[in-house]
Structure 1
Amino acid sequence: MPLSERIRKLAEKFNVPDNRPAQGPSSPVPAAETTSTSSTKAAEPPVCTNSANDLAPPWSTINPLNVMGSNRAGANSYKINYELLSEALAQARPIPTNAWWQNLALENGDQPVVTAPYMIKCLHDSMVICMPTVLGESKFVASVWHDDWKVHLPGCHRQVVDYDELSVTVGYSGPTQATVPLVKGAAFATIIMESPLELKLSTVHAITNVDVSLGATLVRLNNDMSWLIVCENGELLQQSGTSELSSIRNVQGAVRLALVANQRAASAMLSAKEAVPMGGSVSINVENEDAAEFTINWKVRGSGDPLLCALPHHQRSLLDASWEDAVGGFWTYKGQMQVVRGCQWRWREYIEPLGFAGSTPLTSEHKEKLQELVSMDVQSLPQDTANLPPDPYFFGKALARAARIALIADEVGDGYSRDLALGRAIEWFTPWIDGTNPNPLVYDTEWRGIVSKAGLNDPYADFGQGRYNDHHFHYGYFIYAAAVIAKLNPQWIAEHQDSIDLLVRDYCNLNSSDSSFPLLRCFDMYEGSSWAAGLFPFADSRNQESTSEAINAYYGAYLYAQVTNRLDIARVIRGMLQLEARAARTYWHLDDLASDLYPDVYACDKAIVGILWSSKIDYATFFGANPEFIYGIQFLPYTPASSLLIKSRWIDKIWPRYLQAVADESQTESWREIIDLTYGVVDKNKTLERISNITNHDDGNSASNSYYWVATCSSLQ
C-alpha cells in the first residue's frame, strides 16, 4: 500500500482530519551527483538550528536542602560513571535517570540504545549498528540484535558528552576524534570523523556486492539487505574481506549508513546526505482548551532538509508533513516507521474535558448510594500511621485512596466523611513531608532527585526507588492527593507547598532553570509516553509497565498546578497527558487506535501489552503472569483521568472476546473488580451488579471510588 494511501486510511480510522495533502507516491528522487574527492569539505553552518527550549515556567527553583534541611541529604551508593559520562556535563546539569539512552551511562555501557529504526551500541573501540529483525511469539515480540555494521575506532575511548530532549551525543577520543549524534528517528546512523582516519567497517554477514554507481557505496549482504554508506568527503569504500569494507584514503567528516530497499530508495536518501540531524527541541503551545500544539525543531548540521522517521502515532497526526514515499518504511517492534523530510514537525493533541469530577454528573440516586459507601469507607482509614505501608509506592496508593474518599464525600455533600478522610490524609502525609516517618524521603546529591532513605544504599529497596525506578508512579499518587488537599484545604497546602513541590519537580520538572532536578525525568517527547526503568541496564533497553499509573502521575500534576494557580504549567502538562494517553492506546491497547502494529502470533488471542520496552513487547508483568495482572495494571487507579484510556468502543469490542473471561477467572476479588470496572463505559447497570458483592478492594481503591467511576464515566467514546 503506498504511504499516501496508508496515511489517509490511518486518519480515517482515527476519525481525525487527514493532515497529509492528497497526492500519490512521490516521483523518484534523482541520484546525487557522482563525485569522488579526497579533499575534506568544510563543515557548513547549520540551517535548522534551535536553542534550548523550556516547556513552561519552573514550579520552583528553591534548593531542596533549604526546604528539607541538610540532615535529609545523601549521596546515592550508585555513582555516576565518569568513564562513560562526561564529568563536565554532569556538573553542568542534572543527569537523566530514565532517558531512552540511559544504557550508555550504566554499568559497562555496552547495552544497546534504540534510536528507532536502528539499535546502536557505542563501545570504547567501535560503534555498532543494527537494523533489528522481528521475533514474534505468543507472549512477546522482540527485536533481534545482530552486528550489521561495526565502525572500528581502535584505541578510542567514548563518553556521553551532551544530550537534549531528542538526542544524545557520544564523543570518541584517542588516536582519532569522532562524534556520534544519536537522534531519535534518524533515517541514517551517523558518525562524524573529527580527525582523518582510514575507515574500516565489518559486518556479521557476508558481503555479496558493492556498487558505487550512485556516487556512494551501496552494499548488498547475504541476508538480502542493502545498505547505503555515504562519506561526507566523497570517499567510496571497497571490499577488503568477506565481511569487511575499507577506504582507500583517510575519511573526515560525516559517515552515514542507512538500510535501503532499492536504488530508488538509495537515491532518495542521498538527496539528504548533507543534512545531518544533531538533536532537537520540543515546544507545547496551548492557546485554548481544545488542543495543544506540539512542535519539534530538529537541529541539523550541514545543508538541506533532514530525513527522519515517524512512528505510527506521529503518522496519524503530523501537520503539513512531507512524506518521503520513495524511501519506503522501516520495521520496528512498534509498527512500520515512515520517513519525513523537513526541519520541523508539528501536530495537535485534541484535549478532552478533564477535572476533579467525573465525565457525567451524578444522579440523585447515585449520590444517595455514594453517601452510604463513603460513610463506610472512611471508617476503614487507619488513624495510627504505624499501620500504613512504609514504602513510597504503597503509601502513595493509600494516601490517594483517602483523598479520593474525601473528594467523593465532598461532591455528594457528606461533610463529616469529607473532613474525616481529609484529616486522615493530612495526618498521614505530614510525616513524609517533614521527614519523621520511618523511611524518610531524602535528596540524592549524586543524581539530584528525591528518593527513599532505604533506596540510597539498597538498589532493590522500595521497588528500586533509589535507582529512580517508577518515580512518576510513586509520586503521582502523592501529588494527586496533594491536589485534592489543596482543593479542600488550601491553607494547609500553602503552608507546605515548597515541600510538596519537591515531589512534583522530581518527575515533572519542565524548566532547565530548576537545576536541582532533570527535565522530565520519565517522559519521552518522541515516543509520546514515559519510561520507568531508572538506573537499571537492560538488553531490551528502557521499559514501562503501567500506562494508567503514568496517566495518574500527570493527571495529579495537572490538577496540582491548576489548584495552586500555576496555569502555564497546567496547560503544558495537560497536552502531555493527552499525548501519553494516545500513545498508550496506540501501543499498549491492541485494536484500539491501531490494529496492525504487532504480528498475528501475538495479537491473535489478547488485547493488551503488559510491558513495553524500547525494543520489545511482553505479555507479562514484573510481579506475575496472571492475565488479570497483565490487563489490570493498565487500568488502575480509577479516577476521572481513566476516561482518557478506557474507551467504550474498545471495551465493547474486547469484553466478550477477552476481558469478561479474565475477570471471571481472576484469583482475587480485588483484581476481578479492576477488570470489571472497565465495562462501566459500556453498561453501567451490569457493571454495578458485577461489583456489588466485592468486599476486598485494591489497596488504592475503595467501594465508593468504584461506584463513583461507574456512575460518572462516559459511554460516548
Structure 2
Amino acid sequence: MPLFVSMTAGGPPDQVTRRAAHPVARKGINDSPSKVIPTNNFYGNLMLGNQNQGVWTHPYSLRWVKGTGNSSSWGFGVSHIERSQFAYGPGNPNKYFIAPLGITSIILSAQELSNSTALTTDSLEAFSVNANLAVSAQSGPLVTFPLVQGMGFFTGVYLGATALIQTDVFFRTLSGPWTLGTSLKYKVLLEDGRTWLFYVHSSQGYVNPQFILRSNTTIQGPSGFRGSIQVAKLPEGQSNAESWYDWAAGVYPVTGATFGTFNNGSASYTLSWQKGGDTGKTLIMWALPHHIQSFNGGVGAAATDVQLYTTTKGQATLVASDQWVMVEKLVTDMGFTPWTPQNRSVTTLPEKAIVAINSVASSELNQDFAPQTNLDSMYFSGKGLAKFAAILIAVNDLARNPGLAAAGLSKLKTAFNNFVQNTQKSPLVYDQIFKGVISTAGYSDPGADFGNTYYNDHHFHYGYFVYTAAVIAHLDPSWLNQGTNLQWVQTLVQDFASPVADERFPFSRAFDWFHGHSWAKGLFESADGKDQESTSEDAFASYALKLWGRVIGDAALEARGDLMLAIQARTFQNYFLMDSSNKIQPASFIENKVTGILFENKVDHATYFSADIECIQGIHMIPIMPPSTLIRSKAFVTEEWNKYFSNGRVDSIPGGWRGILYANLAIINPKASYDFFAQPNFDPSWLDGGASRTWYLAYAAALGGCT
C-alpha cells in the first residue's frame, strides 16, 4: 500500500483565523506567492538575514560568498572540511566539535557579478532549491545553482556570462583540459594540498572553451558562456574517485522526491531524483551511513568505495544510481501501553502495581487541569495535556479502572477543547505567507514559545497535542465526530507532517527524509545550519502520528509513523546516542554519550536552556514513553547511566529531572525505577511538569519492576 497519500478533513477550521503577514519576509524567493515554502529545510539561510550563511548538502557545504574572502568574489562557493580541520572543545571527552567556517575552496562566479549582485531562489522543494545570481535585483539570472541534498557535484548552469572559477584558498596549479566526450575536464591543486576537479559542458558547441589561470585566486573562462560547470573534490588516497567523477560528469540532479509502500510489517521508501544536463547518464549521489545500512537489493550494489567525511554524519559514500530504495522493519505492535523489544506491548501488570497506580492516579486526576494546560506556551501546554492523557492510559488500559479513567477523560476533553476552540492564552493563526499554523505570541517577541511563530519546534509542540487527541479518541471514539475535533488535530498533523505538498502546507515540514530525523530550527538565520537537541521528542512526535493514524483509521499515516520511528531508531543510534561501539562521530567525543545539540556544521554537548548534565542528557529522554526502548538501547542507557548517574549521583539532582532520570532507568533496572516512584515519602517536586507518578509507576511495572 502507498505511504504518502493525502489526508482527509484537514485545513484550519474557521476558529483558526488567517493572517496575511509574517515577521519574516520572503526574501529573494521567486516562486509564486501562493506556493508553499518549506521552512525547516537545509536551504533556509539562502532566504534569511544576509543570505550568505552556509547550506549543507553533505558532504559539501555551499554559500554565497558575497564579496568576501581572498577572492572578493560575488559568486557561489563550495567547501568540504576534513576531520583533521575540525576544532574540538575543551575536556575529555571534548565538549564540542565544529567544522571551520569561511574556507571556500572553489567558487563558481561570473565577471559580470559585482556589489550589485542579487541572490534569488526558486523551485523551493523538499530536497532541492535553485539558487540564482543576477547582476542586479532587476535582471534575470546569470548563473543558476541547482542545490540538492546529497548531490555528487556542485553544479553551476551559466546562461550567458564570462565564467570565473575562483578560490579563497589560492590556486597552486591548473592542469588540463582533457576531453571527455563533449566535455572538458580540468584539475586544480590548492595551496592547502587538496585537489579539485571541474568539468565544463558547453551548450553552444565550443570545441575548446579555454579556462586560463589569471591569478592565484581566479581562473577565467570564455565570455558569453552557456552550459554547466561541475565541481568535485578528489578524496585523498582513493584511486577510483576520479574515474567515477569522469563517468558521471555532465548529469546533475535538479530536484528530488520520496515515495514508499508498506506491507506485512515492513516498509520501503525511495529517494528519487530528476536530472538535468546529460540525462542519459546515471547520477552519482552521496549517501549517509543510515542510507547504506538500509539499502535494498540492487541499489546497494550501486554504492562505490569512494567516501568523503560529512561534518556531523560520518562518512558519506558515493552511490551511482538515479534512485535509492531503503527498507525498514516496522514495529507495528507498539500501542498506547509500554513496549519493549523483548516483551512487546505490555497490557498486564501485577496486582500490587495496579493498586499503587489507582491510588496515585486518584490524587493526580483530582488536580485542576487548567493551570497545568492553559499556559502561554504551546509546548508546555501540550506537555501538560499529554501528562494527563498518559495517566488515563495507565488507569484504563493497565490498572483496569475505567470509572476513574472516565472521570479524568471528561476533564481532559474540557482542557483540550480550549485549544480546539482557539481560546488559549496565545491563540493560533494560519500564516498565509509560509503556510502553516503558528502561535500569535511571536508576532511581538520572536523568541516567544521557543520560536513557534518562526516555525521552530512544531513537531515537539504539536506532537504532544496529537498524542493527547489519540488517547481521547482511543477512550471515546465518538469524540472524533464532535465539532471540529478531527479537523483541528488533522491541521496540526498537516502542519508538521503533511504527506504531500498542497496549497495549504509543505511536505513534511519537520522530518527530513534525507537525514532521517527532524530539524527543529525554522526561520532563523544560523551560521551552523539547522539543528535539533531532543531526539526523544522527535520520536514521540512520530509515535503520536502513528497512534493518531490508528484511531482515525488512516493506515498510511499509521505506517508513516511506524516508518519514521524505525528510521529514527537507526539515525539516533548512528548520530545522536553514542554507545562505545559508535564509529560515526569522532572518538574523542562519543564518551559524552549524547550529542547535545546536533547542527549541520557542529555538535555541541549542551542545550539551549541549561549547562547541567541532567538537562543535556535528559532532554534526549523526555518523554519516557513506549518508543523510549526502541530508540534508546539497553547498551546505550547502561553506559550513559554508569558515566553520569550511578552510585547514588542521581539522588543529588534536584527537581523534575530526578524523576526523568529514574523513569529512564526502568529501561535497564525497572525494579530500582519502580521502587523510587513507589516509595511512601515520594516528593512530587521530583516530577517534571510533563510527567506523572502514575505513568512512571505503570511504565516501570510494565518493564518488570514490580514482582
TM-score norm. by structure 1 comes to: 0.86
Q: Deviation of residue 644 (structure 1)?
A: 1.9
1:609 aligns to 2:595 (yes or no): yes
1:318 aligns to 2:295 (yes or no): yes
1:446 aligns to 2:420 (yes or no): no
Mapped partners of 1:702, 1:100: distance in 2: 37
- Residue number in structure 1 paired with 2:144: 179
Mapped partners of 1:654, 1:549: distance in 2: 18
Mapped partners of 1:700, 1:429: distance in 2: 15
Mapped partners of 2:155, 2:647: distance in 1: 49
- Residue number in structure 1 paired with 2:154: 189
Deviations 1:638-665 (A, max 9, x none): 1112222122132233332334379526
Q: Deviation of residue 172 (structure 1)?
A: 3.2
- Residue number in structure 2 paired with 1:706: 696
Q: Deviation of residue 213 (structure 1)?
A: 6.1
Deviations 1:39-98 (A, max 9, x none): xxxxxxxxxxxxxx995332236542xx2247x23234413334x11142x32x211111
User: Cα distance 1:81–1:164, how it changes in 2: closer, same or farther (>3 A)?
Assistant: closer
Equivalent position to 2:418, from 418, 424, 431: 431
Mapped partners of 1:317, 1:637: distance in 2: 28
Matches within 5 A, 1:315-464: 315-319=292-296, 320=298, 321-323=300-302, 325=304, 327-352=306-331, 353-359=333-339, 360-365=346-351, 366-379=353-366, 381-384=367-370, 388-411=374-397, 412-464=399-451
- Residue number in structure 1 paired with 2:197: 228
Equivalent position to 2:30, from 76, 81, 86: 86
- The gaps in structure 1 that reach 5 residues or longer are 1-52
Equivalent position to 1:162, from 117, 123, 134: 123
- Residue number in structure 1 paired with 2:88: 136
Give the AA of the match of 1:431: N
1:476 aligns to 2:424 (yes or no): no
Equivalent position to 1:599, from 571, 586, 598: 586
User: Cα distance 1:431–1:207, how it changes in 2: closer, same or farther (>3 A)?
Assistant: same
- Residue number in structure 2 paired with 1:73: 18
Secondary structure of the equivalent of 1:191? strand
User: Cα distance 1:437–1:686, how it changes in 2: closer, same or farther (>3 A)?
Assistant: closer
Mapped partners of 1:99, 1:610: distance in 2: 20
User: Cα distance 1:238–1:566, how it changes in 2: closer, same or farther (>3 A)?
Assistant: same
Matches within 5 A, 1:667-682: 667-682=653-668
Secondary structure of the equivalent of 1:334? coil
Q: Does structure 2 retain, via aligned residues, the 8 Å contact 1:76–1:456? A: no
Give the AA of the match of 2:456: N
Mapped partners of 1:300, 1:237: distance in 2: 26
Give the AA of the match of 2:360: L
User: Cα distance 1:396–1:537, how it changes in 2: closer, same or farther (>3 A)?
Assistant: same
Mapped partners of 1:157, 1:662: distance in 2: 60
Q: Deviation of residue 143 (structure 1)?
A: 1.6
1:120 aligns to 2:62 (yes or no): yes
Mapped partners of 1:324, 1:613: distance in 2: 26
Q: Does structure 2 retain, via aligned residues, the 8 Å contact 1:214–1:267? A: no
Q: Deviation of residue 666 (structure 1)?
A: 5.1
- Residue number in structure 2 paired with 1:40: none
Secondary structure of the equivalent of 1:177? strand
1:550 aligns to 2:531 (yes or no): no
Secondary structure of the equivalent of 1:577? helix
User: Cα distance 1:326–1:238, how it changes in 2: closer, same or farther (>3 A)?
Assistant: farther
Equivalent position to 2:490, from 467, 486, 501: 501
User: Cα distance 1:283–1:714, how it changes in 2: closer, same or farther (>3 A)?
Assistant: farther
Mapped partners of 2:6, 2:698: distance in 1: 34
Mapped partners of 1:63, 1:376: distance in 2: 38
Deviations 1:506-550 (A, max 9, x none): 11111234x211111111110000011111110001011111111
- Residue number in structure 2 paired with 1:253: 227
Give the AA of the match of 1:548: S
1:199 aligns to 2:168 (yes or no): no
Q: Does structure 1 retain, via aligned residues, the 8 Å contact 2:145–2:155? A: yes
Secondary structure of the equivalent of 1:408? helix
Mapped partners of 2:2, 2:256: distance in 1: 12
Mapped partners of 2:584, 2:79: distance in 1: 21
Mapped partners of 2:530, 2:129: distance in 1: 15
1:277 aligns to 2:246 (yes or no): no
Q: Deviation of residue 105 (structure 1)?
A: 1.2
Mapped partners of 2:617, 2:458: distance in 1: 21
User: Cα distance 1:694–1:312, how it changes in 2: closer, same or farther (>3 A)?
Assistant: farther
Q: Does structure 1 retain, via aligned residues, the 8 Å contact 2:334–2:626? A: yes
Give the AA of the match of 2:30: S
Q: Does structure 1 retain, via aligned residues, the 8 Å contact 2:22–2:431? A: no
Mapped partners of 1:639, 1:398: distance in 2: 15
Q: Deviation of residue 192 (structure 1)?
A: 0.9
Mapped partners of 2:384, 2:310: distance in 1: 43
- The gaps in structure 2 that reach 5 residues or longer are 67-73, 180-184, 203-207, 340-345
Deviations 1:179-224 (A, max 9, x none): 21111111211111132x2221221222222221644111111111
- Residue number in structure 1 paired with 2:631: 645
Matches within 5 A, 1:52-67: 55-60=3-8, 63-64=11-12, 67=13
Q: Does structure 1 retain, via aligned residues, the 8 Å contact 2:189–2:196? A: yes
User: Cα distance 1:663–1:530, how it changes in 2: closer, same or farther (>3 A)?
Assistant: farther
Secondary structure of the equivalent of 1:285? strand
Q: Deviation of residue 468 (structure 1)?
A: 1.0
Q: Does structure 2 retain, via aligned residues, the 8 Å contact 1:323–1:338? A: no
Matches within 5 A, 1:565-604: 565-591=553-579, 595-603=582-590
Q: Does structure 2 retain, via aligned residues, the 8 Å contact 1:95–1:447? A: yes
Mapped partners of 2:430, 2:649: distance in 1: 42
Give the AA of the match of 1:79: V
Deviations 1:422-443 (A, max 9, x none): 1221111111111222322222
Mapped partners of 2:209, 2:693: distance in 1: 70
Q: Does structure 1 retain, via aligned residues, the 8 Å contact 2:15–2:421? A: no
Q: Deviation of residue 674 (structure 1)?
A: 1.3
Instruction: Name whichever of 557-566 and 431-440 sits farther off.
Output: 431-440
Q: Does structure 1 retain, via aligned residues, the 8 Å contact 2:60–2:310? A: no
1:152 aligns to 2:109 (yes or no): yes
Secondary structure of the equivalent of 2:123? strand
User: Cα distance 1:329–1:451, how it changes in 2: closer, same or farther (>3 A)?
Assistant: closer
Q: Does structure 2 retain, via aligned residues, the 8 Å contact 1:646–1:678? A: no
The alignment covers a number of residue pairs equal to: 651
Q: Does structure 2 retain, via aligned residues, the 8 Å contact 1:122–1:128? A: yes
Give the AA of the match of 1:102: G
Q: Deviation of residue 498 (structure 1)?
A: 1.3
TM-score norm. by structure 2 comes to: 0.87
1:304 aligns to 2:303 (yes or no): no
Give the AA of the match of 1:209: T
Q: Does structure 1 retain, via aligned residues, the 8 Å contact 2:671–2:704? A: no
Seq. identity, %: 26
User: Cα distance 1:324–1:478, how it changes in 2: closer, same or farther (>3 A)?
Assistant: closer
Secondary structure of the equivalent of 1:180? strand
Secondary structure of the equivalent of 1:512? coil
Mapped partners of 2:652, 2:5: distance in 1: 46
Secondary structure of the equivalent of 1:271? helix
Secondary structure of the equivalent of 1:430? helix
Mapped partners of 1:530, 1:226: distance in 2: 34
Q: Does structure 2 retain, via aligned residues, the 8 Å contact 1:260–1:327? A: no
Give the AA of the match of 1:335: G
Give the AA of the match of 1:524: D
Mapped partners of 2:379, 2:548: distance in 1: 19
- Residue number in structure 1 paired with 2:343: none
